[in-house]
């Protein structure tokens, strides 16, 4: 059974988390989701592994309520708020995994956001982050095109909810270095098969998701070097990060 559907980058990260959770079982495992939305990606995972505790941060009140309803009865807490300066404000502990799924492209203060992820991470923990380019290289609706134009203007006067801007590869790598993190792994996901998946009959959705993921993982083994121009082919960039080890 796949843990989610519709996005190869997210499913890959969920599979990675499942492997980490089972390797540590029955010990507890903690997850912080920095921009959880409705938290739909975690419904199956939390149902399967009750030793996992999940905390979601989300600025939208309706999304927070939807997340609480979806995760009712599971070991989950949802906080409403922006995912800046989270440590000591919204959470008091550090986490085994800090997650950011399709969020960074909507973040205005990106360095502050990445720093906040680091501050919430255990010294031996991992950050799993992916971000998307589809809004910018292949906007599907007029609304998307308008957000690309108007979102940055509104953010300049303090309204962040409509913001979205392409994440440049060099900028992201600089953010990682500035936060005292290093890249453990990087991959690219979500070819045009993401659009195909929407047309797959429900009874075949899990099978197609697995075949799609396997294919894109194979593409990642071919030595293809990613750059910003390739965002038109692979809409999602995926990284696993850890804290830098201090020099002795």
* pTM of the shown model: 0.95
User: How much is the mean pLDDT over the chain?
Assistant: 96
Return the pLDDT at 1: 78
How many CB atoms neighbour CB 40 within 10 A? 16
CA distances in angstroms from 199 to 27, 41, 209, listed in the order given: 40, 20, 12
CA-derived radius of gyration, the chain: 18
Domain boundaries, the chain: 8-243
Task: Find out whether 42 and 71 touch, Cβ atoms under 8 Å.
Answer: yes
Distance, CA of 48 to CA of 41 (rounded, Å): 13
Structurally, what CATH architecture does the domain formed by 8-243 represent?
Answer: 3-Layer(aba) Sandwich (3.40)
CA dihedral sign, ordered 230, 233, 236, 239: negative
Compute CA distances 235 → 138, 187, 190, 193, 231, whole Å.
9, 11, 5, 11, 5
Give residue-wise pLDDT tens across range 86-142: 999 999 999 999 999 999 999 999 999 999 999 999 999 999 999 999 999 998 899
pLDDT of 140: 84
Place of tokens 């995972």: 45
């Amino acid at each position: 059974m796949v843990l989610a559907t519709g996005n190869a980058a997210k499913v890959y990260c969920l599979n990675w988390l499942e492997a980490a959770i089972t390797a540590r079982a029955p010990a507890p495992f903690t997850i912080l989701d920095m921009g959880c939305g409705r938290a739909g990606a975690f419904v199956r995972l939390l149902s399967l592994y009750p030793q996992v505790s999940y905390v979601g941060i989300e600025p939208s009140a309706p999304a927070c309520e939807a997340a609480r309803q979806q995760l009712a009865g599971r070991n989950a807490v949802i906080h409403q708020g922006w995912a800046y300066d989270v440590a000591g404000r919204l959470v008091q502990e550090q986490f085994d995994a800090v997650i950011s799924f399709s969020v960074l492209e909507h973040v205005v203060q990106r360095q502050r956001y990445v720093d906040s992820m680091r501050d919430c991470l255990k010294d031996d923990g991992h950050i799993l982050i992916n971000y998307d380019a589809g809004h910018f290289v292949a906007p599907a609706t007029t609304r998307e095109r308008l957000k690309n134009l108007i979102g940055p203007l509104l953010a300049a006067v303090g309204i962040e909810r409509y913001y979205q801007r392409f994440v440049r590869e060099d900028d992201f790598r600089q953010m990682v270095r500035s936060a005292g993190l290093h890249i453990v792994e990087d991959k690219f996901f979500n070819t045009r098969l993401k659009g195909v998946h929407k047309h797959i009959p429900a009874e075949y959705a899990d099978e197609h998701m697995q075949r799609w993921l396997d294919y894109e993982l194979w593409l990642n083994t071919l030595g293809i070097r990613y750059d910003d121009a390739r965002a038109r082919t692979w809409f999602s960039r995926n990284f696993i990060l850890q804290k830098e080890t201090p020099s002795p």
